[in-house]
Amino acid sequence: MGAATESESRIHAVAFHPDSNAIQRLLQDRIAPERILIRPIDRIAFASDASFYRLIPQAVIQPQGVEEIKHLFRFSHQHGIPLTFRAGGTSLSGQAITDGILVDVGRYWRSHRVEHNGSIIRVQPGLIGQQANNALKLYRRKIGPDPASIASCRIGGILANNASGMCCGVAQNSYHTLNSLTFILPSGTQIDTADPNADNILRMLEPKLCATLLRFKSEIESDATLSARIRHKYKTKNTTGYSLNAFLDFESPLDIFSHLLIGSEGTLAFIAEAVLNTVPDYPVKYTGLLLFPDLHAACSAITPLSTAGAAALELMDRASLRSVEDHPGVPAHLKSLPESAAALLVEFQTPDEARRQQIELACNDAIRGLPLLHTAAFTSDPAQQAMLWKIRKGMFPSVGAVRASGTTAIIEDIALPVDHLADAAVELRSLFLKHRYPNAIIFGHAKDGNLHFVLTQGFNTALEIAQYRNFMDDVVAMVVGKYDGALKAEHGTGRNMAPFVETEWGSDAYRIMCELKAITDPLNLLNPGVIVNPDPEAHVIHLKEMPVVEPEVDKCIECGFCEHSCPSRDLTLTPRQRIVVRREMQRLKDAPDPTAYNELDRDFPYMALDTCAVDGLCATDCPVSIDTGKLTKRFRALRHTSFANKTAALFARNFSLVEFGARFALGAGHFIQKIFGLSFMTATTKLMDRMSRRFLDEPFWQWRDPMPRPRKGALPTTSSSGAEAVYFPACISRVMGALPGEPEDVTPMQALLNIAQRAQVNLYIPRDLSGHCCGVPFSSKGFEAAHQTAMDHTIESFYRWSNAGQLPIVIDTSPCTYGLKTSRAQLSPENQQKFDQLRILDSVEFAHSHILPRLPIHRQLASIALHPVCSATKLGITSKLVSIAEACSIHVTVPQEAGCCAFAGDRGFLHPELTASATSIEAAELKQQNHDGYFSSSRTCEIGMTRATNHIYRSYLHLLDHASRP
């Protein structure tokens, strides 16, 4: 390995590292203090990425513009503190961690703009890849890279790792789809490569860098052996080291350096903005899973399928299929496959329906005669295709989820000649057995000769570390020594392959990489230790321990897939960060000095518990369905006193009094506001909140505009005679009336009765509705006994009202529907039997299937906006809500960034800052549009969205009522 450079030795000798408080004091004159995160809980939350490495930063900075970036570079140089940029933290090789200053660009660098009719897109590094594709969907275009993590990884990482993925191969990776960049060097030089004078500006401001780049180009071009090796290695996927092909592909220092930045993993400069050439997004797809007797048979099919035009060929060995065979929707026959079996997930794509027959014929011709274990079954159904891709994309997290407690999941990716792929895969399996990794799996992008392998590993003893070290030595010998492949195909070199870059490339190429790093970052402060690292043991230091924590979240591998959908992601912690902090608390639990634990424990309640919406959307994004809200509920329950639990149980048993009290409080609040004004009412509830927190350790509702008025009048009742369903208005509907400015003539309950009558659908509303609750308010607060009491009472009444389940139960508030439909495990044994006889439907389901087909539509609104609540998403009824809206309006908009509003029952009354943060992006999107109506399916969510957008959100039942009026 190469020796440490003089600059590395010098900086390590003289570096002065102020503590976190000193960093904040020194930076806060240029960066707002609230964007300088130095509390232990913040630093721990950002200490982990998706890799198996961990470093605790001294501070986490969230800059907002290029001038702040330049200031951070100056500060880093002045004080000798390393600087690492992080976008999404989904990197798998340790590229996004540091013990210096971590610069989080995922928070404020998210803008994008589609240009030239979709042929290019201008993006900042914090934008999620899928968000870029969402913006391009109108143009039937997409960005070239298509990694499996595209729904969570961000543009910064996509560029920094030269991401590719399932279908893009080499031709459409980040490197080859780059149009232009705006970058900032550690020296502070800022260059927009789209500027016609950019090359001259770079030569003028950075003459030494430009001269060095041209010298490297000359050296490479004059060395026929090295030139040929570079060209050969970049015909296939390869992200080991820096992108040396830039020296052969381009002439000017500007073009060379801008392409060297792709795949540089944030070690050379900061990419502030990129313009990417987009590629066609073919809407017509033909997808199937082919099962073969062994890996050789599967790999023998790669060439004919590729020749036939397959866009994707995903190889999976038997162990990888086993890791997902129990997932919902996975074909049952996977369980009966022999141990030697292998599979190819195959997808053909075409731009229009006119060519569908062509790709289907090409596919059928290619698979004819293949030695398949089962008849090939291809599909054009998007839902079935999504399930097939979910099998493939869920393999890495699925293996991590079934790992032994205390171990971590490791994923590596290698590239090999396609004609040697099967032999290499078989040899790799033998290495798993040799080094005692019996549960390791192999999958990958077979079309590109790209294999991923996943294994689980503990790093708690010297023996375990030696096990991994010896295994990696054998892998390197096989990939490089035997097959002359690439040790990193698309995940980036990071820390775990840095010691082997010279082994793969040779001394001449590695010398150029080292000198490139030194000339660009002479103090070795920009993400040091990544790509260029003289330590031969770099891949086995700074390893992440995985202490055992609560069973609700212990299987988390910290991949970060959950983060985008989390309502508190921009306010406090994400689900991944909650788990990371919880693991750190477990590490510190028995430490001799309790100071560090106490600091985390002090901030954990608000950061992790109070501001968790417990909406469960994290489970929908998590490949192994971890619902972090369950952990939140566990800890909320532990915080309750015996008195609090008894009080909650009393409320559950006497819920009619709670309803009366809530209606009275809303009425009294509006009366006081009318006399003394909104500010007086707001100040009063803030004072009551402080007193309640101090003496009862519980928050109190805060009065914010708008607040609903109490529902007026008596509850409607109807006869059970001839009824098609029982209508159960949720307690929210029974308590809350109109918002200020909203018409009060028709309540959501009356709207449902109106449309049912017009469709000649009879609904039965029992007389004894009062006092019934779905139990969700108690569950979300961790009052489990009260939760069970409320649910048991309601299920008993459902059973009685429905005549032992003969009639379906229709509920008008989606969160309440979801809470009751998933309540079985918490019910008493007797009520579980009753539950099994019931059909519980959300009103969206009932209106879509029973009312809308029989409802006369007389008028349509021109344009409406929908907010699908998180419960509707989990129930899988969002498409039905959209269908209802489309019947009642000409144009329906569901914001691309629609997500959980975080009102979470009454959480929006207790912590309005959570709802404000959760809805900010969706609200910003809606402010660019004008609609004739705004609708949802939960009253509290409607309140939250009204506050966020200043447009009154109403129940979709009002939309149906309006459209069907004669």
Strand order in the sheet with 933-936: 889-893, 861-866, 933-936, 953-955
**Which residues in 121-136 are b (16+ Cβ under 10 Å) and which e?**
bbbbbbbbbbbbbebb
The reported pLDDT for the residue numbered 213 is 98
Looking at the predicted structure, is the pLDDT value of residue 428 above 80?
yes
**Mean pLDDT of the 34-47 span:** 97
Looking at the predicted structure, is the pLDDT value of residue 2 above 60?
no
Looking at the predicted structure, is the pLDDT value of residue 13 above 50?
no
DSSP annotation of 35: G
Token pair belonging to 518: 């030194």
Token pair belonging to 87: 């976008």
Looking at the predicted structure, is the pLDDT value of residue 4 above 70?
no
**Mean pLDDT of the 398-414 span:** 81
The reported pLDDT for the residue numbered 694 is 77
Q: What is the pLDDT of residues 681-737, one digit of tens each?
A: 999 999 998 888 777 667 888 999 999 999 988 888 999 999 999 999 999 999 999
d(CA 123, CA 104): 16
The total number of residues written for the chain in this structure = 966
Mean pLDDT across the chain, nearest whole number?
93
Looking at the predicted structure, is the pLDDT value of residue 234 above 60?
yes
Between vectors from CA 312 to CA 307 and to CA 318, what angle results, nearest 5°? 110
The reported pLDDT for the residue numbered 808 is 98
Q: What is the pLDDT of residues 450-463, one digit of tens each?
A: 999 999 999 989 99
pLDDT band for position 202 (50/70/90)?
very high
3-state SS, residue 595 = helix
**Mean pLDDT of the 498-525 span:** 98
Token pair belonging to 903: 């009102």
Q: What is the pLDDT of residues 344-400, one digit of tens each?
A: 999 999 999 889 999 999 999 999 989 999 999 899 999 899 889 888 877 776 676
d(CA 942, CA 261): 46
Q: Is 399 in contact with 451 (CB distance < 8 Å)?
A: no
Looking at the predicted structure, is the pLDDT value of residue 5 above 60?
no
Looking at the predicted structure, is the pLDDT value of residue 12 above 50?
no
Q: Is 299 in contact with 421 (CB distance < 8 Å)?
A: yes
The reported pLDDT for the residue numbered 696 is 66
Terminal CA-to-CA distance of the chain, rounded, Å?
Answer: 83
**DSSP H/E element including 61:** strand 59-61
The reported pLDDT for the residue numbered 358 is 93
DSSP characters over 121-141: EEE-TTSBHHHHHHHHGGGTE
The reported pLDDT for the residue numbered 6 is 35
The reported pLDDT for the residue numbered 8 is 35
Q: What is the pLDDT of residues 607-621, one digit of tens each?
A: 999 999 999 999 988
Q: What is the pLDDT of residues 920-962, one digit of tens each?
A: 999 999 998 899 999 999 999 999 999 999 999 999 999 999 9
**DSSP H/E element including 816:** helix 814-821
DSSP characters over 193-209: TTSTTHHHHHHHH-HHH
d(CA 541, CA 538): 6
The reported pLDDT for the residue numbered 317 is 93
How many Å is the Cα radius of gyration of the chain?
30
Q: What is the pLDDT of residues 742-800, one digit of tens each?
A: 988 899 999 999 999 999 999 999 999 999 999 999 999 999 999 999 999 999 999 99
The reported pLDDT for the residue numbered 764 is 97
The reported pLDDT for the residue numbered 397 is 65
Looking at the predicted structure, is the pLDDT value of residue 7 above 60?
no
pTM of the model: 0.93
Q: What is the pLDDT of residues 806-820, one digit of tens each?
A: 999 999 999 999 999
Looking at the predicted structure, is the pLDDT value of residue 171 above 60?
yes
DSSP annotation of 850: I
Looking at the predicted structure, is the pLDDT value of residue 15 above 50?
no
- 635 burial via Cβ count (<10 Å: 0-12, 13-18, 19+): middle
The reported pLDDT for the residue numbered 504 is 97
The reported pLDDT for the residue numbered 323 is 84
Looking at the predicted structure, is the pLDDT value of residue 478 above 80?
yes
Longest alpha-carbon distance in the chain: 93
The reported pLDDT for the residue numbered 698 is 73
Looking at the predicted structure, is the pLDDT value of residue 417 above 60?
yes
Q: What is the pLDDT of residues 578-610, one digit of tens each?
A: 999 999 999 999 899 999 999 999 999 999 999
The reported pLDDT for the residue numbered 156 is 98
Q: What is the pLDDT of residues 177-194, one digit of tens each?
A: 999 999 999 999 999 999
pLDDT band for position 655 (50/70/90)?
very high
